[in-house]
């Protein structure tokens, strides 16, 4: 029954019903505490913190403190020897620190996860730690380091076979590359779209049109930027829709929202509205093919932009105190075979 309570609480988060999630998880936690099952307590506390961080219940006085939930879960996972559970807690504590404005604490926690993942070969949640460090670098105005870390995160997700996280990261990476005037932006966005089509992620494909507008505008293709932004508007998508799939709206969503606003301000609103009306008459797949997939497959005819040199990317990572030679470590080690599916609770196999 307690495992059912945990599962029900987690499923409620997929529906963004945060209050229902909190009720189920609190009930499960109470039973696990009464029966002295530390693994169950750790899982309940982690997801309870997640629910509290993602949505504020109608009655604020019953809202659990996410930091306290994650800290207690971290202690329990550590005592149990569950490295992956402990590192997910550190990732979540880092997110809390980031939004509280404590970038140094957020950086320290993310680096601790990176160090541990590289030392053990367990890749969860290495990609998310790289992404968190990219958010920190971006907030500090370090574009080169942001680019390097997003590429690192994408590489981990690609090697591990995680198309959901890879698609999301590639969209953010494409926007960052366009911001820096790099030619890889459109191909990376196209790869994201292909992944989204395979896994059926509608909101991500819709968002890709907004990013395409920014990419085209940054490359001087104003007419295509207008068509892409109009097509995005025709979908009715919002960045809240995209952020909701990750439960906690991240710095990525905030940055992409500003990018979208800047793109819209640079384009003729009448022309964008006309493009939106036209896009509503066509299938989404056809619009994406015309504005993203086909242009990405064409050779670059304009002036090419100089990508950062490898030493520049390495220098940027070093400023964040990351582990040197991590690529060699990843390719030398295999991920632990007992790493559970991340869609399941973070219980050890013997408990599940």
Q: What is the pLDDT of residues 269-309, one digit of tens each?
A: 999 999 999 999 999 999 999 999 999 998 754 444 444 44
Please check whether residue 264 lies inside any domain of the structure.
yes
Please check whether residue 180 lies inside any domain of the structure.
yes
How far is 333 from 323, CA to CA, in rounded Å? 15
Please check whether residue 12 lies inside any domain of the structure.
no
How far is 338 from 223, CA to CA, in rounded Å? 51
pLDDT along the chain (352 residues), means of 10: 66 77 88 91 92 64 83 96 94 92 95 93 89 92 94 92 91 93 94 92 86 94 96 84 44 74 95 97 95 87 46 42 33 33 36 32
207 and 171 Cβ atoms separated by less than 8 Å: yes
Please check whether residue 118 lies inside any domain of the structure.
no
Please check whether residue 248 lies inside any domain of the structure.
yes
pLDDT of residue 245: 40
How far is 37 from 34, CA to CA, in rounded Å? 8
Please check whether residue 62 lies inside any domain of the structure.
no
Burial class of 322 by CB neighbour count within 10 A (0 to 12, 13 to 18, 19+): buried
pLDDT of residue 187: 96
Q: Which residues contact 80 (CB under 8 A, 6 or more apart)?
A: 38, 39, 42, 348
Query: What is the DSSP-derived secondary structure letter of residue 248?
Result: S
pLDDT of residue 210: 93
At residue 8's C-alpha, the angle toward residues 124 and 254, to 5°, is 55
Q: Which of 187, 188, 177 is nearest to 143 (CA)?
A: 177
* Residue 298 belongs to domain spanning: 162-303
How many structural domains are present in the chain?
A: 1
Please check whether residue 274 lies inside any domain of the structure.
yes
Please check whether residue 63 lies inside any domain of the structure.
no
pLDDT of residue 313: 44
pLDDT of residue 258: 85
pLDDT of residue 97: 93
């Amino acid at each position: 029954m307690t495992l059912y309570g945990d599962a029900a609480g987690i499923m409620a988060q997929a529906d963004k019903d945060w209050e229902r999630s909190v009720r189920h998880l609190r009930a499960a936690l109470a039973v696990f505490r009464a029966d002295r099952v530390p693994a169950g307590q750790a899982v309940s506390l982690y997801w309870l913190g997640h629910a509290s961080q993602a949505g504020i219940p109608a009655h604020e006085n019953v809202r659990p403190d996410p930091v306290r939930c994650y800290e207690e879960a971290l202690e329990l996972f550590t005592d149990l020897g569950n490295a992956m559970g402990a590192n997910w807690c550190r990732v979540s504590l880092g997110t809390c620190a980031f939004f509280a404005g404590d970038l140094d604490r957020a950086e320290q926690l993310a680096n601790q996860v990176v160090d541990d993942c590289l030392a053990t070969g367990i890749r969860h949640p290495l990609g998310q730690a790289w992404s968190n460090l990219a958010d920190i670098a971006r907030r500090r105005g370090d574009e080169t380091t942001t680019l390097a870390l997003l590429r690192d995160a994408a590489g981990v997700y690609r090697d591990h076979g995680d198309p959901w996280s890879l698609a999301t990261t590639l969209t953010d990476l494409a926007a960052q590359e366009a911001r820096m005037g790099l030619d890889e932006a459109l191909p990376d966005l196209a790869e994201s779209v292909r992944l989204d089509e395979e896994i059926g992620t509608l909101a991500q494909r819709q968002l890709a049109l907004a990013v395409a507008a920014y990419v085209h505008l940054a490359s001087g293709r104003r007419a295509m930027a207008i068509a892409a932004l109009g097509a995005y508007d025709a979908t009715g998508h919002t960045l809240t829709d995209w952020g909701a799939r990750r439960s906690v709206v991240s710095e990525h969503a905030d940055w992409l929202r500003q990018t979208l606003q800047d793109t819209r301000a640079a384009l003729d609103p009448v022309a964008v509205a006309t493009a939106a009306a036209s896009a509503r008459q066509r299938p989404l797949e056809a619009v994406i093919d015309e504005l993203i997939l086909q242009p990405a497959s064409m050779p670059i005819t304009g002036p090419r932009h100089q990508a950062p040199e490898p030493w520049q990317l390495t220098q940027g990572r070093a400023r964040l105190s990351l582990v040197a030679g991590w690529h060699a470590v990843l390719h030398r080690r295999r991920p632990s075979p007992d790493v559970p599916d991340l869609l399941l609770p973070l219980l050890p196999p013997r408990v599940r």
